[in-house]
Amino acid sequence: MDGCAGDQLPVSFTSAVTDHDASDAAGDLLGVPENQFWRDHQSSKVNAIRIRTLIENCDVAVIRFGNKYKQWNAAFDAGFCAALGKPYITLHDPEHIHALKEVDGPALAWATSPEQVVDILKYVTTKE
């Protein structure tokens, strides 16, 4: 989030691996299961090593929903945050308001652009 760097906010970002091909192949280094379910299973578990640690260590999570994919993983992470009492902000277009209502319910903010997320983070970390 480049907006934060420009504003010199006391914020550091972490994220899941965003290279989709690398992420899908995360488990392949342990051997490649022939069955698609188990190949995905193995990779999703390896990615979870990273994601769970990042979620538990962060102060606030930003859960982004794009328009191309179903992104059930994003909704899953939101539920994980909600159960832990970890604050999270959702980021999605207005067209998904209805479909995401259960995800937005416990969220502490719904943003429609990365700029809004930066504005919120700026407010909560630097306003006196």
d(CA 75, CA 17): 17
8 vs 85, beta carbon nearer a second copy: 85
CB of 6 to a second copy, least distance (A): 17
Is the Cβ–Cβ distance between 62 and 36 less than 8 Å? no
CB of 8 to a second copy, least distance (A): 18
5 vs 40, beta carbon nearer a second copy: 40
Q: Which residues touch 23 (CB under 8 Å, ≥6 apart)?
A: 16, 17, 43, 47
CB of 42 to a second copy, least distance (A): 8
Give alpha helix (H) positions in 8-113: 20-24, 36-57, 72-84, 101-104
